[in-house]
Structures are given as structure tokens and as C-alpha cells.
Amino acid sequence: MTSENHGTEKADSALVMSPTESTSQAAPFSPSTISLSDELIQAGWSKCWSKRENRPYYFNRFTNQSLWEMPVLGQHDVISDPLGLNAAPASGEVKSDAGLGNGQRKRPPSEDAQAGPNSFKRPKVCFVPNSLSDISVDMTCLNWSLCFRVYWDLDIQTNAVIRERAPADHLPPHPEIELQRAQLTTKLRQHYHELCSQREGIEPPRESFNRWLLERKVVDKGLDLFLPSECDPVISPSMFREIMNDIPIRLSRIKYKEEARKLLFKYAEAAKKMIDSRNATPDSRKVVKWNVEDTMNWLRRDHSASKEDYMDRLEHLRKQCGPHVASVAKDSVEGICSKIYHISAEYVRRIRQAHLTLLKECNISVDGTESTAVQDRLVYCYPARLSIPSPPQPRVELHFENDVACLRYKGEMVKVNRGHFSKLELLYRYSCIDDPRFEKFLSRVWCLIKRYQVMFGSGVNEGSGLQGALPVPIFEALNKQFGVTFECFASPLNCYFKQFCSAFPDIDGFFGSRGPFLSFSPASGSFEANPPFCEELMDAMVKHFEDLLEHSSEPLSFIIFVPEWRDPPTPALTRMEASRFRRHQMIVPAFEHEYRSGSQHICKREEIYYKAVHGTAVIFLQNNAGFSKWEPTTERIQEFLAVYKISGRSLPSPGPSFFSSESTSHFGCFIIQTKQ
């Protein structure tokens, strides 16, 4: 038995129901009235009933397009169909599978203004249903423009073209398994905290566990989509580097002279203590001891030093003592990284065993799943699909507290604001094909929010910086000026378009995700990439971009937003600046632009935006066809920069407290470089 995301991909002519409607209320069709051709069915069309208009209409589950009249195949638009996948064959020409795809017709952005009286346009904002499963909630129609601001536009159709792919064999989500994963991940974070404290006497570096999860997933070949279990090398470069940076003490941002003086004293004292208590070589002991004594003598005699004098002295001491301190701490830090990895691998084994047991109890076979044959053809991208059927879902309770939706399972509550709850309902309606009556909607929303809640961590503002998104005006300009319709790194909670890549295809796919970007291979399209700021992930991203651009002759464009870290420069930034596909580059100065918080789905409205404490490099990577189609001309760039400004309501960044002053070296101006 094979099911594809979430169900079977076999198109049928069943009624497409709103979650607020029931099948008993819909006007039934007789078999004679459902007269769609096989071509239309294969292209995703089905005949539905509109209760409001009391007449039938036609809906395409691939493109989310609705028409009152019978759809016609073969209409081609160069804006939304760059490869001519939907072009009608010439007179007398035989229609072949090569280069044709699924035959759906895309609505171009300009078609809304041209739509005739017989076209039916889906609303941009979907109302929260009055009832979901057996949940009864008083949710009558609301004036959503007064309740929340919309940070997305789900009407924009995709221009991303891929080769048809088979469903993935990930295990389908279930609240019981997600709850176990959350509990074990929390224990793993506690182990990390204890190891850092006991072995090195430091608190875990801020966000280091979260970046460890991101970095491990670049190389992990394990079966769990969240926790790593099969990585080479075992020692994480990211975790090792961040712990080492906090040894012997953590350095923080300094504002006043007295703080700088105390920090210098603490560093000297901690370096001497570490070198005396570890198995250091005589030369290392001698170098550290001499530099520490020299620093202490300087502190005793010079009381008129400025903040800059103290910081210069600290930098000198770090350069002299740092290598020797690192050499004696190396084995211990590697032990921390190795221990955390092996505990994670054991937790993955437990989670998978529990998951397989649950599926077996539901008579769902994993090994016996039939593979789905796919054609070697180009199609517009579609959400990630699962080959394993979803088990029955348990009851999840829903209630509302003012503008917050609260979902509870076994005493574990997750929250999401009312606007984003409505967004998830609409994404689910667009993307899920195995749950037309929304019977599994609440349990899947609970799993989704719980997964990201655990990924963020439990600290104040923790993880939200790694999930930050671009402001809405930037997305609007990217779409208008450069045809961008797709986000390479997003989630159902922070996406702007309804087509995006994300980390967890097993649960995000129900809400529109195309899967992880590093395993996503588009042949054509215009893309935006704002990756989490993890060096290993950004470097792997650039390698993937260059490989895609090298092997595609169709229009392909990537507009990348990465931090302008220059001290030292990140491998990703260096590689992009030297790439033969680089067509344009500009630097947006620190503190002069902002991001949307990764916790936008739950934070207060006034906390949505925060200022970037580092410069952001915006780089265009395009092949020749992409450059010809979406060239970053002077006019387009000027239009783009016109909306790149602070809203006036942003907060200070919740990001790392220590950053290089190099990131503000271009404060007050845009630096633009163009490569023709």
C-alpha cells in the first residue's frame, strides 16, 4: 500500500470540502455529472461544489486554482511557466512526456486583474474553522485586518520546476512520538549543560546546541530528521569551536572601562588556573605564567588606562595564551562533543523503535511499502510526500485565549497566535491530500509547533535568531523585481510564499514544505535564500547552488542573504564572492535593517522585528538564462533598496552578545558590486 503525502497521489473527483462543511451538507454529484477527462484528472483537476454560489466549480490541487468553467489544458504563460511545461503541442504534433510535466496551468501574477466574471479567486486570508474534528469553538467570521497583520502572501504561484520524485519513506508524525522526542531532546540539552559545567566550568555557549543540530544535519545520514545519529566526523566542528571560544572564560560585549578591566583580570586568572590544573607542557606553563604575571603587574601600576587600553591588552593576552589553553582543553572538549553525539544516537534508536511499534499496532507495515513509480519529467514543485500511510491520530484539545490558539495533548500545551493558526489552516488546505475533512489537522499542528518549540530551546529569545525571516516589503520587492516565488530556508510558521523548503519534511510537508533544500534540485526558477547563520550549513548551501547552476541551462536564480562576517570571513561568503555565477552583490549595513523574529508565531506584535547587529551581504547567483530573465539592473536594484529600511518599531537583536566590530565598518552606506 502506498500513500503520498499524505495519502495517495491518485487524483479523483471527490468533493473538496472546507473544514467547516460536512459531506452531508454538500450537494452530491451523480456519476454522469462528473465528466472530467483523464488528462484533467492527471493534471490535478477535480469537480467541487460551492455552497455559497450553489453551483459546481473546478479546483486544481497542484496549483490551488479555482474556475467556474471547465478548465482547458495547453494554455501557456511565459511568466508563470518558464519552461513551457503547459504549452499546447503544435498542430499535428504528438504530445510526449519529455518536458511536459503534469499539465497544470498556472495563474500569472497579473491574471487577478484580468480575471473574468467566471473565474473564482481564493481568498488571501482563510478564516479559522468553526469546528475541527470534535472541537467546538465559537469562531465566527472575524475582521482579520483588525486582529492581526498578515506576514505572508499565499496566492503567489511557483515558477520552481523540478524533476518528478518518488515519495519519501520517513515515518509519519504522531503526537505520542513527538512528545517522546521532545522529552529526550530536553534531557540531551541538560546533559550538554552539565558536561560544560563539570568539565570546563562554563555555561554552554548561547545557541551552540541549536547550531550543533543544524551543522550535524549537513552530514547526518541517520533516520531521524531532528536528532543526529550517523555522522562523520563524530566530533562536531561547530560545537567544538564554540566551546573553545568560551575557554577559559566567556567574552561578552563591553560598554564601560571598569567592565573591561574586570574582564582582563578574570581572563588572566582563569588562564593561569587552567594551565596549572591540566597536563600542560613545561613550555606552555612558562609562556602562560609569564604573560599572566606581566598583565597583573600592568593592572596594578596603570590606573589611568582607557577602555581601549584594556581591550588591546586582553586581545594581546588571548593571542599569547590562547593556543596553550586550547591545547590542554582539546581532549576534554572533544569528549563533550563525542558524548553528546553518542547520547543523541541512542535517543534516536529509542524514538525509532517506539515509532515502529506504534505503526505495527496500527497494522501499518514499513518494510512492505510499495515503491511508487515516477516518470522522468519536469513538473512544477509540489509538497513533500510520504510513502507510509499515517496512523490514526489521537485527540488534541483546542481552545483560544484572546488572540492565542492553545493546543493540548496529554498535558503538554503549545501555543500559536490566531493569525498564524489561520495561516496553517490555509497551508494545510493547499498541501495536504490525505485529510480532506481535517480530522488530523489539530494533531499535526501540535506536532509541528512542538517540533519547532523543541528546536528553539527553552531560553529567553533562544533560537528565534536562527529562524529569522526577511521583512514583508523585501519579499514583495523580490517577487516584483526578480520573480522570486520560493524560499530555500523557511518553515510553515515563518514562510512568506506557500512554496518553501524546510528542515522537517515528515511534518512540514502537510503544510507545503518541499523538503530540505540540500536535497532539493530545481531545474528552473527564482529563489530567495536566507539560511540559519551556521557556517557549515551556509557553506554546503553555496556548494549546492553552484552545482545546480552548473548543470541547468534553464533560467535559474538565487538571491542569498548572509551575515557579512569578515573577521574572519566565512567560507560561504568567500566562495560566493569568487563564484563565476555571481552577478551582483551589495552590503546592507548593521543596525540599518531588520529581520522578522523566528518566534513571530507567538511573540507580541511589537516584538516581531529586531535590528540586525551585523551587516548583511545580498548576493545574486544566476546562470546565463537566469541572468537574462531576472537581471539585477540598476533600476531593479534601486526599487529593491527603496524598501530595505527599518520600520521604526524594531527591537535590539536577540542574537549573540559578542560580535566583531568589522560588521559595522560600512555603517551609513550601501556598498554595491556588479559582475556582468
- Grid coordinates representing 406 are 492553545
Residues of the chain under the 50 pLDDT cut: 1-34, 75-82, 86-148, 655-676
Alpha-carbon separation of residue 624 from 199, 478, 483, 527, 582 (angstroms): 54, 19, 16, 15, 11
Place of cell 512520538: 177
Encode pLDDT of 10-29 as tens digits.
Answer: 333 333 333 333 333 333 33
Domain-by-domain residue ranges, the chain? 38-67, 175-361, 373-456, 472-648
Rounded Cα distance between 592 and 642, Å, is: 13
Distance CA 45, CA 273 (A): 72
| pTM check: above 0.85 | no
39 φψ region: left (φ > 0), alpha (ψ -120 to 50), beta (else): alpha
Of 339, 320, 235, 337, the residue nearest 275 (C-alpha): 320
User: What is the distance, to the nearest Å, from the Cα of residue 257 to the centroid of all Cα atoms in its chain?
Assistant: 41
Residues 6+ apart with CB under 8 A from 237: 215, 536
Candidates 3.40.50, 2.20.28, 1.10.10, 2.60.40; CATH matching 472-648:
3.40.50
- What's the rounded Cα separation, in Å, for the pair 344 and 428? 31
Measured distance CA(526)–CA(547) in Å, rounded = 16
Which residues have CB under 8 Å from 175's CB, separation 6+?
393, 394, 396, 409, 410, 443, 446, 447, 450
First to last CA, the chain: 53
The architecture (CATH level 2) of 38-67 comes to Single Sheet (2.20)
Instruction: Name the β-bridge partners of 119.
Output: 67
pLDDT value, residue 64 = 67
- Spatial distance between the Cα atoms of 310 and 261, rounded to a whole number of angstroms: 6
3-state secondary structure 181-200: HHHHHHHHHHHHHHHHHHHH
CA-to-CA dists, residue 450 to 179, 182, 192, 447, angstroms = 8, 7, 21, 5
pLDDT of residue 144: 37
Q: What is the DSSP string of 367-422?
A: TTPPPPP--S-EEE-----BSSPPPPPPP-EEEEETTEEEEEETTEEEEEEHHHHH
Q: Over the stretch 159-172, which tens digit does the pLDDT of each residue have?
A: 999 999 999 999 99
Q: In the prediction, which pLDDT does 160 show?
A: 97
Calpha distance 397→133 (Å, rounded):
10
**Contact yes or no for 526/486 (Cβ under 8 A):** yes
